[in-house]
Amino acid sequence: MYRILKKKKLNPTVTLMEIEAPFVAAKALAGQFIILRADERGERIPLTVAGCNKETGAVTIIFQIVGGATMTLNEKEEGEYIADFVGPLGTPTHVEGLKKVAVVGGGVGCAIAWPVARSLHELGCEVTSIVGFRNKDLVILEDEFKACSDRMFMMTDDGSYGEKGNVCVPLNRLLEAGETFDEVITIGPLIMMKFVAAATKPYNIKTIASMNPIMIDGTGMCGCCRVTVGGQMKFACVDGPDFDAHLIDFDEAMKRSRTYQEFEQKAREKHCNLFKKEVK
Amino acid sequence: MPKFNMNPKKNEMPTQDPLVRNKNFSEVALGYSAETAVDEAKRCLNCKNRPCVAGCPVNVMIPEFIALVAEGKFEEAYQTIAKTSSLPAVCGRVCPQETQCEGKCTRGIKGEPVGIGRLERFVSDYHNVNSTQMPQKPQSNGHKVAVVGSGPAGLTCAGDLAKLGYEVTVFEALHLAGGVLVYGIPEFRLPKAIVEKEVDNLKALGVKVETNMVVGRVFTIEELKTKYGFEAIFLGTGAGLPRFMGIPGEGAKGVFSANEYLTRSNLMKAYESDSETPYFHAKKVAVVGGGNVAMDAARTAKRLGAETVYIVYRRSDAELPARREEIEHAKEEEIIFRLLTNPVAILTDADDNVVGLRCIEMELGEPDASGRRRPIEKKGSEFEMDVDCVIMALGTSPNPLLKKTTAGLETKPRGEIIADETGKTSLEGVYAGGDAVTGAATVILAMGAGKAAAKAMDEYIRAKN
């Protein structure tokens, strides 16, 4: 059992938790993930590590409430326990030696982009952050990004906060103006990462996307996190989750991500109807 | 001496009706009654040269335990098996007896061999129901050892070392101990309560089981030695990495590795009505492969509601690697065998849903390196099967994680850890066994390897001190 040390609502559908897991906290690096189960009957949920504190043994996770399992997790309160918490899994994001990087995050993907931006900043890299959300109410981690960015662009789809448009708008503007980066790191919805990859391709700028596919064990056993990269089958849990965005077959990944859509929809309805629980 | 049973046939194993059981997850085989067990035991000739024992990777004292069954001394029979086997209730259910103990049985020359597996199962179930006595933790010898992976190899190694007085810690990556016994083999073939009971027995011996620990990530092998003071380490990490065919369409929705499909059902209990685990409701399923895992996946798909389930296998019936009993059970459960058939492409619609499987017919040529006749494509024989789900059960390779994170651990090109017959690897004090060394094989071979390694680890530690 793993104790919830802290719980904070970042927006109506995104929650931050700190979980007591000292062995994971001692080892986790930016870009790595954990898998948790809220209770004994629960699904295994993979979540990227948003931060950790080696002294207190706390691991920070940020999750969006999307299905039955994340609803159950969101019902847990500070001081309560979750059943399982395993990690760190996956290969850490490569951050060493980079001098100038654009970190492009979208939606809850910003929760993963933030620790990457922070690691780069701590290593003395010049960080340009471009973060995008659907609207003002969904904005998360703004101050955190500001603190580790040399430049920051805040975008909303409807223009209710920051600049109107998607993350590719400022990215294209910078690239067209002749700006160059050692690397662009992008984390967010598959469709957004696909467009970021398309934007940087003509400029030959190395672009890394962090994939978050369907997963069970996280150790290379189930094979459901397979992603086609450069025509080869890769397992996101052990080979990734970071891959060369110019080589990822995003169209296949988007279709695969909908494998259990119907089931998830039913689970959500069942969860809400049976227990009459609202998303808190 | 009890009267000898001349019947050339084994006593039949009572089973659930095939068309009832293919809709539930309760155990298929129901087990012998005490009366039948005694009757079957009386078929044993008690041969002096004990060929059956030589056929068993953990050398169960077979004639001895069967003689006790014939006398109705079931608990004593169990204690006799338990001297060399740490998972009797498991082995009685999943061992390929026809190629091991029973394959060597003298009674098998004229007629059927003694039902050794069925008797082992009976005796272990008798013990589990009737004995309340838990094993006692032996006096500690003060030495710490680690076991990585809680599958059959790891559990056996841990059990043997604990009985010698070692302080054993087992590290398991998943949230439940048992490895392939819990995520791979279905409930209807191996009830999970049996695995849990075996793990509880180990805990009673003083074995600590740490779940949610991915060694290689959370601790390295080096750290286990230097920082945490484990004097010897056993790697029983299995062969988890699933293989695919490399044919078009494998990334489509509705294509699964058997590992994913079975893990969702077995470990994550997708078949229970209140489970949160998503699973794919398929109507027509093709399972590619002919081993035990393929049979398990096909029979699971049927139980999860698929109307038509095919086994697609490129060789013929005689080459099917699965246990004969599983093949028979699958056929009884209306699984359709498309033999001498090999997939060439998975067909998909515009939204990447599986809509069919294009296959080619095969014929058998000369024997290949495995000694089995090589399947050759019949030109122009391509045809399409109407399916909405394809499950790949083509075997697995060892997980690359430990190799990646452990400097100096030598492996073969496909990832198998290099170890000698005692389990000794290229690293001092590090032993390995089971599928991690051999590639995908059987539960009992893994147990044999765990046993050999436990002995070698004990010798290694005693020589050092």
| CB-count burial class (<10 Å; 0-12, 13-18, 19+) for B37 | buried
Using a CB-CB distance cutoff of 8 angstroms, which residues of chain B are in contact with residue A223?
241-242, 244, 256-257, 259-260
Which residues in chain A have their CB less than 8 angstroms from residue B183's CB? 217, 221
Q: Do B173 and A88 touch (CB under 8 A)?
A: no
Asked if pLDDT for residue A277 goes beyond 50, the answer is no
For chain A, say whether B305 makes contact (Cβ under 8 Å): no
Closest chain A C-alpha to B31 CA, distance in angstroms: 30
Tell me: pLDDT of B274 over 80.
Answer: no
Report how far Cα A55 is from the mean position of its chain's Cα atoms.
24
pLDDT over 60 at A228, yes or no:
yes
Question: What's B75's DSSP letter?
Answer: H
d(CA A89, CA A85): 11
Beta bridge partners of A61: A17, A49
The structural domains of chain B, with segments of one domain joined by +, span 18-130, 144-240+397-464, 244-394
pLDDT value for A208:
96
**Residue B278 is nearest to which of A72, A226, A260, comparing CB atoms?**
A260
- CATH code 3.40.50.80 for A100-257: yes
pLDDT of B102? 95
Dump strand ranges (E) for chain A. 2-11, 14-20, 33-37, 45-53, 58-64, 81-82, 84-89, 100-106, 126-133, 151-156, 163-164, 183-187, 207-210, 226-229, 232-235, 242-244
Residues 192-231 of B with CB under 8 A from A: 211-214, 217-219
Whether A26 has a pLDDT exceeding 50, the answer reads yes
Q: How far is B406 from chain A (nearest CA, A)?
A: 15
Per-domain boundaries in chain A = 2-89, 100-257
Q: What would the pLDDT profile of B1-26 be if each residue is shown by its tens digit?
A: 557 888 999 999 999 999 999 999 99
Are B218 and A88 in contact by the 8 Å Cβ rule? The answer is yes
Q: Is the pLDDT of residue A52 over 70?
A: yes
Closest Cβ opposite residue B214 in set A83, A89, A260: A89
User: Per residue in B293-331, pLDDT tens?
Assistant: 999 999 999 999 999 999 999 999 999 999 898 999 999
Would you place residue A278 in the very low, low, confident or very high pLDDT band (cuts 50, 70, 90)? very low
B445 token code pair: 């071979």
- Architecture field, domain A2-89: Beta Barrel (2.40)
* Residue contact A88–B280, C-beta within 8 A: no
Of B181, B133, B153, whose CA–CA distance to B423 is shortest?
B153
d(CA B126, CA B34): 9
Provide, as residue numbers in chain B, all residues whose Cβ is less than 8 Å from the Cβ of A84: 175, 211-212
Pick the CATH number of B144-240+397-464 from 2.40.50.140, 3.40.50.2300, 3.50.50.60, 3.30.230.10: 3.50.50.60
Q: Give the tens place of pLDDT for each residue, A154-177.
A: 999 999 999 999 999 999 999 999
Query: Average pLDDT of B167-196?
Result: 95
Residue ranges of B 146-185 with Cβ closer than 8 A to chain A? 173-175, 183
Is the CB of A69 less than 8 angstroms away from the CB of B276? Answer: yes
Confidence band for A267, pLDDT divided at 50, 70 and 90: low
Rounded to an integer, what is the distance from CA B345 to the centroid of its chain?
A: 30
B345 in A contact zone (CB under 8 Å): no
In A, which residues are within 8 Å of B278 by CB distance? 43, 260, 263-264, 267
pLDDT tens digits along A95-107: 889 999 999 999 9
Report domain B18-130's class. Answer: mainly alpha
List, for residues A180-215, the tens digit of each pLDDT value: 999 999 999 999 999 999 999 999 999 999 998 888
Query: What pLDDT, on the 0 to 100 scale, is given for residue A4?
Result: 97
User: Mutation test of the interface with chain B: which of A215, A221, A262, choosing the one with the most B Cβ atoms within 10 A?
Assistant: A221
pLDDT (0 to 100) of residue B217: 93
Hey, do B18-130 and B244-394 end up sharing a CATH topology, with the first three levels equal? no
**B259 vs A68: CB contact, 8 Å cut-off?**
no
* Inter-chain CB proximity A219 and B250 less than 8 Å: no
Res A268 pLDDT > 80: no
Give me the residue label for tokens 């999750």. A63
Which helix (H) or strand (E) segment is A121 a member of? Answer: helix A110-122
- Per the CB < 8 A criterion, the answer to whether A68 and A42 are in contact is no
A219 with B264: Cβ contact below 8 A: no
Measured between beta carbons, the chain B residues lying within 8 angstroms of A260 are 278-280
Q: Does B350 touch chain A (CB under 8 A)?
A: no
Matching CATH number, B244-394, of 1.10.150.120, 3.50.50.60, 3.40.50.300, 2.60.40.10: 3.50.50.60
Q: What is the pLDDT of residues A131-160, one digit of tens each?
A: 999 999 999 999 999 999 999 999 999 999
Query: Please, are residues B234 and B145 in contact by the beta-carbon 8 Å criterion?
Result: yes
- Nearest CA-CA distance, residue B146 and chain A, Å: 17
Q: Give yes or no for B17 touching A (CB within 8 A).
A: no
B191 vs B185: CA distance, rounded Å:
9
Beta strands in A181-225 (DSSP E): 183-187, 207-210
Q: Which of B294, B321, B315, B323 is nearest to B368 (CA)?
A: B315
Residues in B closer than 8 angstroms to A221, CB to CB, are 183, 240-242, 259, 263, 399
pLDDT, greater one: B36 or B404? B36
Of A23, A252, A263, the CB nearest to B251: A252
Taking the model in full, what pTM does it have?
0.91
SS3 at position B218: coil
List the single residue in B175, B259, B276 with the smallest CB-CB distance to A221.
B259
